[in-house]
């Protein structure tokens, strides 16, 4: 062997042995105090477990290790460390291919209950719930410290109360390998001086193909850009626009963490809405502000309105006292400002949650000026508005969440509001501000008031979502719960989660393509049966008893698969009156029953009196002796001079009649429809107004009328003819007016006629069907 190769070989061998000894010495020396697995918060990162740990261990949902045992399991002689060991990388702790740490387990290592190993989530801040040891036999207090993937986010500390903990975890796109260290407090019952560590891998996939909820701060054109705060807080953390942005952003992240967890508990995966993001100064961690680190953060749009402070603060607000005037002005002004800022095009929808920064506590009138708690899902702007009167109590960063919801500082009404006398302390003010604004954001997502949950007033307990021990409450005049578990928290109502399951803002990449037609149609057929159809499928039905202002009974038809897939909700459903009534209390089962049928496309059909569908008025005796049935009508039939009309097609009852073409009279709305037969006879429904256009059927191929697509609201804006061969005419009339509805009879039935009403043009339209 050449001499120079021998020299290289000797040098390499010597170096390798030296490295092995030094690694062994470092690891055994560091384990003397039982802290070798602790992750340093310095720039050097964290020390890896030893390379000698067997690599064939099986993975479990949450992998655990007692770092105090590193001394006993240190590298044995002859076990050479790998060259790519990445000793300071968290990922090296998870490097055995399946994400399992190469370490022994510890009975006191944190056990993550709410999130399983390798879960997929869709919001940046993840809520985690876990336990230490066996809470029933030996409850412990202490601290869980979370170290983030590749030190991408500063370590955060979370209290452990009676062996339970809740924490917020910051994620970056892709896989996140997280480390959880538990340190018990002295005297808590633990005799172990060591850390107890577990690991969890979570995959974060932003839903960039779903529309975002835009976050907006609204300012008067002469606003100083400040919000109400007591002098001490204004001096300590500021009350400027910059502080408001940090606080509003953190509140929005809490909305996401809360909603993602609620959707998971409802069985729909970790679906959640998203925010538009921007590359800007990081604010989610206090450390980011100190170091000037930049991150992708939720964008807070700041819009200067054309209204003055006097305009905004002179309004009397309906929610605060009975003599209110112009209570909707703040909402309409916000709508106008948002439209002018985002400039949506025709057919586009915006989802916007706004904070009025210029809300102000009037100490003389004892009212918050420039504040209204309102939300609605009205196209094109789905909007929520709320005031800034509780903003001082919000956390500005993830490290401040627990302190903010634990702060018992009494509300000083010389400077800030005690909203509805439910914000007597700082943590309760944070509940009201963050929670009530989330309530209004629920409205913009289509949620009505519910019998419980956020859409009632359960947000006064929002703090419990993020704490395991609750402080004294001025609202209840009682000490808070010593231990707050998941059953004690507030939540989204089940019906809210059902709405979110198919909402555009919650769409997953695995969901099937969206069908544009969101409509729901209702058809009465024989034997008192009612059929409901929807092109996107029927998701759930709300059932209301007489006098009910909120829904207390419902049927749901979700396929049950949280991340898409399955056959989806049914496109045709049989509704049996007795079964629906059985859902109501006994004293309401024989009274008027209202139902609302919701499609997976966010459409809704309301039947105010279900019994009216199955009565004699729903049936039509045809000229040939058969029975026809009227489907639910579109349009309000409220135009001046409107008259009821009904037409039974000759081609449906006489074999000698062959329908050749359909002529539609339309301008900015549909005036009438004329059916033209082979013998040149015609039948007219409505008026001969506007411009006539013919749509011929190909009778040589046996083409027949299948149904219609309508644009309808108060009246019939537009109409399209569909045929049995799949052909469609143009949309006659206004193609963008009203909302879209597909009128195709259910399986086994055909169109035999049309009924409705007509004034100056058609303002009512429904089909008559028969077998």
CA distance 398 to 393: 14
Q: Tokens in use for 255?
A: 């909305």
Mode of pairing for the β-strands spanning 196-204 and 119-121:
parallel
Asked if the peptide bond before residue 511 counts as cis, ω within 30 degrees of 0, the response is: no
CA distance 99 to 81: 19
**Which of 363, 361, 381 is CA-nearest to residue 371?**
361
CA distance 542 to 495: 9
CA distance 707 to 725: 12
Residue from 399, 400, 428, 440 carrying the catalytic annotation: 440
Beta bridge partners of 125: 170
Measured over the CA atoms of residue 87, residue 89, residue 90 and residue 95, the dihedral's sign is negative
Spatial contact of 596 and 604, defined as CB atoms under 8 Å apart: yes
What is the C-alpha radius of gyration for the chain, rounded to an integer number of angstroms?
A: 32
Query: What letter would DSSP give residue 389?
Result: T
Beta bridge partners of 387: 356
Q: Tokens in use for 415?
A: 């400077």
Residue 238's CB is within 10 A of a number of other CB atoms, namely: 15
How many residues make up the chain in this entry?
771
Spatial contact of 335 and 199, defined as CB atoms under 8 Å apart: no
Spatial contact of 629 and 769, defined as CB atoms under 8 Å apart: yes
Host H or E run for residue 288 = helix 286-291
Q: Residue 240, exposed/middle/buried by CB under 10 A (0-12, 13-18, 19+)?
A: middle
CA distance 168 to 184: 20
Which are the contacts of 753, defined by CB distance < 8 A and separation ≥ 6?
Answer: 620, 622, 628, 646, 647, 648, 649, 652, 767, 768
Three-state SS annotation for 244-266:
HHHHHHHHHHHHHHHHHHHHHHC
Q: Tokens in use for 37?
A: 């697995």
Measured over the CA atoms of residue 663, residue 668, residue 669 and residue 672, the dihedral's sign is negative
* 440 among known catalytic residues: yes
Say which residue the tokens 């898409």 belong to. Answer: 564
Residue 668's CB is within 10 A of a number of other CB atoms, namely: 12
Beta bridge partners of 169: 126
Residue 266's CB is within 10 A of a number of other CB atoms, namely: 20
CA distance 569 to 603: 14
Beta bridge partners of 142: 160, 184
Query: What letter would DSSP give residue 43?
Result: T
CA distance 526 to 530: 8
Spatial contact of 128 and 169, defined as CB atoms under 8 Å apart: yes
Q: For the chain, percent helix, then strand, then coil, each to nearest 5?
A: 25, 30, 45
**Which of 432, 362, 657, 634 is CA-nearest to residue 521?**
634
Q: Residue 186, exposed/middle/buried by CB under 10 A (0-12, 13-18, 19+)?
A: exposed
Q: Tokens in use for 261?
A: 């967890």
Which are the contacts of 207, defined by CB distance < 8 A and separation ≥ 6?
Answer: 122, 272, 274, 506, 507, 508, 509
Spatial contact of 614 and 575, defined as CB atoms under 8 Å apart: no
Question: What is the set of active-site residues?
Answer: 440
């Amino acid at each position: 062997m050449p001499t120079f190769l021998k020299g290289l070989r000797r040098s390499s061998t010597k170096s390798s042995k030296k490295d092995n000894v030094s690694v062994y010495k470092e690891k055994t020396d560091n384990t003397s105090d039982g802290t070798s697995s602790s992750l340093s918060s310095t720039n050097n990162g964290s020390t890896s477990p030893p390379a000698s740990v067997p690599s064939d261990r099986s993975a479990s949902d949450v992998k655990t290790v007692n770092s105090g045992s590193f001394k006993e399991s240190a590298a044995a002689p002859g076990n050479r460390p790998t060259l790519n060991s990445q000793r300071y990388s968290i990922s090296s702790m998870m490097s055995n291919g399946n994400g399992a740490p190469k370490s022994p387990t510890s009975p006191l290592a944190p056990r993550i209950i709410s999130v399983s190993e390798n879960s997929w989530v869709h919001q940046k801040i993840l809520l985690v719930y876990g336990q230490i040891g066996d809470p029933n036999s030996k409850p412990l207090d202490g601290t869980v410290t979370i170290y983030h993937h590749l030190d991408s986010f500063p370590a955060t500390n979370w209290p452990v109360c009676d062996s339970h903990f809740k924490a917020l975890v910051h994620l970056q796109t892709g896989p996140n390998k997280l480390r959880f260290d538990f340190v018990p407090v002295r005297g808590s019952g633990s005799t172990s001086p060591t850390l107890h560590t577990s690991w969890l891998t979570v995959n974060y996939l932003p839903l960039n193909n779903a529309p975002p909820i835009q976050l907006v701060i609204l300012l008067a054109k002469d606003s100083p850009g400040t919000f109400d705060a007591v002098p001490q807080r204004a001096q300590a953390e500021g009350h400027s626009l910059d502080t408001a942005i940090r606080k509003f952003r953190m509140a929005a992240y809490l909305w996401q963490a809360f909603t993602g967890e609620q959707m998971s508990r409802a069985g729909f995966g970790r679906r959640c809405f998203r925010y538009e993001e921007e590359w800007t100064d990081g604010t989610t961690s206090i450390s980011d502000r100190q170091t000037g680190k930049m991150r992708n953060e939720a964008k807070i749009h700041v819009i200067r309105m054309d209204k003055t402070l006097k305009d905004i603060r002179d309004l009397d607000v309906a929610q605060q006292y009975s003599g209110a005037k112009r209570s909707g002005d703040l909402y309409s002004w916000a709508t106008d400002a948002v439209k002018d800022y985002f400039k949506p095009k025709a057919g586009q929808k915006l989802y916007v949650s706004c904070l009025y920064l210029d809300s102000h506590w009037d100490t003389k009138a004892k009212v918050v000026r420039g504040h209204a708690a309102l939300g609605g899902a009205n196209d094109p702007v789905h909007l929520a508005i709320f005031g800034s009167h509780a903003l001082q109590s919000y956390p500005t960063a993830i490290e401040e969440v627990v302190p903010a919801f634990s702060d018992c500082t009494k509300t000083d009404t010389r400077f800030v509001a005690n909203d509805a006398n439910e914000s007597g302390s700082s943590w309760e003010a944070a509940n009201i501000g963050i929670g009530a604004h989330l309530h209004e954001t629920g409205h913009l997502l289509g949620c009505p008031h519910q019998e419980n949950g956020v859409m009632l007033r359960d947000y006064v307990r929002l703090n419990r979502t993020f704490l395991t021990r609750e402080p004294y409450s001025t609202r209840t005049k009682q000490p808070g719960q010593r231990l707050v578990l998941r059953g004690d928290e507030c939540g989204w109502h089940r019906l809210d989660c059902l709405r979110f399951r198919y909402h555009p803002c919650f769409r997953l990449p695995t969901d099937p393509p969206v069908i544009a037609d969101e409509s729901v149609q209702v058809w009465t057929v024989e034997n008192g049966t009612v059929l409901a159809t929807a092109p996107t499928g029927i998701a759930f039905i709300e059932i209301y008893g007489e006098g009910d202002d909120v829904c207390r009974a419902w049927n749901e038809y979700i396929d049950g698969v949280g991340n898409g897939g399955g056959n989806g909700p049914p496109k045709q459903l049989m509704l049996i009156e007795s079964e629906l009534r059985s859902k109501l209390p006994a004293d309401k089962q024989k009274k008027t029953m209202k139902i609302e049928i919701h499609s997976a496309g966010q459409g809704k059909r309301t039947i105010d009196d279900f019994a009216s569908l199955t009565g004699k008025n729903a049936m039509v005796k045809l000229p040939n002796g058969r029975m026809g049935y009227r489907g639910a009508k579109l349009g309000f039939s409220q135009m001046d001079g409107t008259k009821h009309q009904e037409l039974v097609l000759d081609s449906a009852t006489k074999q000698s009649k062959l329908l050749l073409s359909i002529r539609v009279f339309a301008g900015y709305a549909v005036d009438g429809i004329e059916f033209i037969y082979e013998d040149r006879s015609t039948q007219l429904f409505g008026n001969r107004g506007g411009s006539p256009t013919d749509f011929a059927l190909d009778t040589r191929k046996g083409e027949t009328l299948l149904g219609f697509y309508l644009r309808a609201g108060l009246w019939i804006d537009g109409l399209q003819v569909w045929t049995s061969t799949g052909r469609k005419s143009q949309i006659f009339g206004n193609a963008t007016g009203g909302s879209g509805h597909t009128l195709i009879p259910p399986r086994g039935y055909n169109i035999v006629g049309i009924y409705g009403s007509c004034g100056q043009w058609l303002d009512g339209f429904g089909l008559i069907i028969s077998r």
